Amino acid sequence: MAGACYHVYCRVGRGEQRTEWAGERPGRLPWWRRQAGDDEPIAPEEGVPRVDAPGPSAVPARRRWGVSEYVAACCRIRGVEREELASRRKDASLTRTRELVTVVGVEAYGLRVRELAVALGVNAGSASRTLGRALEREREDRAYHQERLALEQRLADIEVAGTRSKKV
């Protein structure tokens, strides 16, 4: 198959074969045109291991959290009341917790900044700036990065414990 595609490509390049898209600008090529369903989010099947360029992931598929459930779990792990997290207080530990909740929620669990903003009682712009600060801090501060990984691990432990013990 790959050989046939290569030969067609070469014939087009030499001018031996004419196609409708030859000479078009990149945005006008057939494989770049928008098609129905392009804006739909990609939703991997539940429980199926993720596969990327290096191969299958060693990490099991992550749980899909609802925003409220996710924020509540983070509050339990960090030892903070949800009302306190949504308050206007700006002490260092609370700010750090807000940053961690935002960065892990967006990056690890695919939650939307806007939805997290509502759950944290801030506007979307503030939540977006919090995410930016968290990402910058993570690049510069190794201890912060370790704290993020610890939060992710604790959330993963909750996921595993939740799948093992389902009370009826």
Domain ranges of the chain: 67-162
What does pTM read for this prediction? Answer: 0.60
Who has greater pLDDT, 118 or 160?
A: 118
pLDDT for the residue numbered 160: 58
pLDDT for the residue numbered 6: 72
Residue 41 Cα distances to 55, 124, 128, 158, angstroms:
22, 21, 21, 26
Please write the tens of the pLDDT for every residue from 4-62: 667 777 776 776 666 676 667 766 666 666 665 556 666 666 666 566 555 555 555 66
> 25-55 burial by CB neighbour count: b if 16+ within 10 A, else e?
eeeeeeeeeeeeeeeeeeeeeeeeeeeeeee
DSSP letter (8 states) at residue 17:
S
Answer whether 133's CB lies under 8 Å from 140's CB.
no
Residue 79 Cα distances to 10, 72, 95, 134, angstroms:
63, 10, 14, 19
For residue 129, name the pLDDT band (cuts at 50, 70, 90).
very high
Nearest to 111 by CA among 150, 73, 165: 73
Please write the tens of the pLDDT for every residue from 72-109: 999 999 999 988 888 888 888 888 999 999 999 998 88
Superfamily of domain covering 67-162: DnaA protein, C-terminal DNA-binding domain (1.10.1750.10)
Nearest to 155 by CA among 107, 85, 105: 105
Burial status of residue 99 (CB atoms within 10 A of its CB: 0-12, 13-18, 19 or more):
buried
Per-residue three-class SS string for 82-126: HHHHCCCCCCHHHHHHHHHHHHHHHHCCCCCHHHHHHHHCCCHHH
pLDDT for the residue numbered 164: 44
pLDDT for the residue numbered 117: 92
